[in-house]
Amino acid sequence: GAVVSQHPSWVICKSGTSVKIECRSLDFQATTMFWYRQFPKQSLMLMATSNEGSKATYEQGVEKDKFLINHASLTLSTLTVTSAHPEDSSFYICSARHRVGSYEQYFGPGTRLTVT
């Protein structure tokens, strides 16, 4: 149980285009999903917290107009990187909290984004 999927697993796009990444909780309902970014040999940096049915909470320094997050249902959150630039190339990972009051997070397999 507690499986989280991400799609696509990798994507290459041209500078200036937008890319959408999906995060799904397959066998549980996730009231909260988290979006992380990880650069090579760096740790995970939280970008935003997404709660179903409400606006995402962004971490300081993360542009909300550039990284659009939608959490339309209890099993799906999407991250759209708008007008992508090469510096946005990174490993994007989502996680989902299993239930209210739980501190444990289950991670998706990640999406490798390369912007050329």
Partner 1 sequence: GQNIDQPTEMTATEGAIVQINCTYQTSGFNGLFWYQQHAGEAPTFLSYNVLDGLEEKGRFSSFLSRSKGYSYLLLKELQMKDSASYLCAVSGGPRGSTLGRLYFGRGTQLTVWP
Q: What does the binding site for partner 1 look like in residue numbers (CB under 8 A)?
A: 32, 34, 41-46, 49, 57, 91, 93, 97, 101-110, 112
| Sign of the Cα pseudo-torsion (31, 65, 113, 10, in order) | positive
Which is closer to partner 1, CB of 46 or CB of 82?
46
Give me the least distance between CB of 55 and partner 1, in Å please: 13
According to DSSP, the residues that pair with 37 across neighbouring strands are: 45, 92
Give me the least distance between CB of 39 and partner 1, in Å please: 11
* Structure-token pair, residue 18: 């937008």
Which is closer to partner 1, CB of 16 or CB of 109?
109
Which is closer to partner 1, CB of 43 or CB of 86?
43
Give me the least distance between CB of 38 and partner 1, in Å please: 9
Give me the least distance between CB of 7 and partner 1, in Å please: 13
Alpha-carbon Rg for the chain in angstroms: 13
Q: Which residues of 89-116 are buried (b: 16+ CB within 10 A; e: fewer)?
A: bbbbbbbbbbeeeeeebbebebbebebe
